[in-house]
Amino acid sequence: MIEVINTSKEMSRVSDNIKKSGKNISFVPTMGALHRGHLSLISKAKKSGDAVIVSIFVNPTQFGPKEDFAKYPRNLKKDLALLKPFAPLIVFAPSAKNIYPNDFGTFVDVEDLSCKLCGEFRPGHFKGVATVVLKLFNIVKPDFAFFGKKDYQQQLLIKKMAKDLNLNIKIVTCPTIREKDGLALSSRNAYLSPVERKSASLIYKALKTAKKMAKSKNAEKIISFIKRFLAASPLIKVEYASIVKKANGAAQILIAVKIGSTRLIDNILI
């Protein structure tokens, strides 16, 4: 069975009962318009044998005033049909008013991380993400929470918030699921016209070629290659292409582009 819950109060009560029964909770937060990327996170959550809760909530506070909040795809019926094979499952689909009542006024700011990269182009975005994820964590009370690597900076931010605020939740990052031509699945891919969709395949091609270059070339050369490679398509505008060093000595190339009004992100380990 798929149980749909619409209020925080009811969700919290159901979560308390699951915990009392001695089960763990695995949680997959989403904004709906589900695709194979989301489903891969849910599969992973299901493997744990825990009770699995999927939230579907298009979070208004993570959209800028000129962004696509109003037109973001919403189709709960279709989403529930896609979730059917994962039953038993709990879907938490609250209204914006339920999550943000009129007198709401507390926000979470993961300093530093939230201003860089995507944060520079989407001011306030990560404040909205951190706030809603902490709220969802407090309502759902998960032991494990699953996030996709496609949103690389987001999963870093959530891990940092969990550590800084002593959340007793294990954050699990799952691999990026891609279309045949390499394009990372995203709900926003639905905005692309056929020609835009074709050019979008260049993003992952650029990243894969860049990964090969990384054996012999320095960061500056790699970034300028990516920018030149993508400039071949007049439809693509690069917001940033950046190499981020990781604690273990490896590095990640992160990229954000606009194709028409559609913003797409991707990344690869080098």
Chain residues binding ligand ADP by CB under 6 A are 30-31, 37-38, 40-41, 147-148, 150-151, 174, 176-177, 184-188
Asked whether the beta carbons of 101 and 95 are under 8 A apart, the reply is no
Buried b (16+ CB within 10 A) or exposed e, 40-64: bbbbbbbeeebbbbbbbbbbebbbe
Asked if 139 and 92 touch (Cβ cutoff 8 Å), the reply is yes
To the question of whether residue 177 is assigned a binding role by annotation, the answer is yes
Secondary structure E strands in the chain: 2-5, 25-30, 51-56, 89-92, 144-148, 170-174, 236-245, 251-259, 262-269
**Min CB(234)–ligand ADP separation in Å:** 25
Task: Give the residue at shortest CB distance from ligand ADP.
Answer: 148
Residue 199 and residue 190 in contact, taking contact as beta carbons nearer than 8 Å? no
**47 three-state secondary structure:** helix
H/E element, 43: helix 36-47
CB of 255 to ligand ADP, least distance (A): 14
Q: Helices in 122-231 by DSSP H: which ranges? A: 125-140, 152-164, 194-213, 219-231
CB of 89 to ligand ADP, least distance (A): 16
Query: What is the torsional sign of CA 61, 76, 157, 213?
Result: negative
User: Is 62 annotated as ligand-binding?
Assistant: yes
Residue closer to ligand ADP by CB (options 92, 147) is: 147
Q: Active-site residue numbers?
A: 38
263 is in an annotated binding site: no
Q: Is 125 annotated as a binding residue?
A: no
3-state secondary structure of 206: helix
Closer to ligand ADP by CB, 177 or 235: give it: 177
The answer to the question of whether 185 is labelled as a binding residue is yes
Residues 178 and 166: their CA atoms lie apart, in Å, by 33
Question: Tokens at residue 34, please?
Answer: 């589900």
Identify any residues that bridge with 184 across adjacent strands, giving them in sequence order: 178
User: Could you tell me if 34 and 40 are in contact, meaning their C-beta atoms sit under 8 angstroms apart?
Assistant: no
Minimum Å distance from CB 217 to ligand ADP?
27
Q: Which is nearer to ligand ADP, 188 or 205 (CB)?
A: 188
Min dist. Cβ of residue 185 to ligand ADP (A): 4
Cβ proximity to ligand ADP: between 99 and 223 the closer is 99
149 annotated as belonging to a binding site for a ligand: yes
178 vs 217, beta carbon nearer ligand ADP: 178
- Binding residues for beta-alanine, as ranges, are 62
Q: Which residues fall in the annotated binding site? A: 31-38, 62, 148-151, 154, 177, 185-188
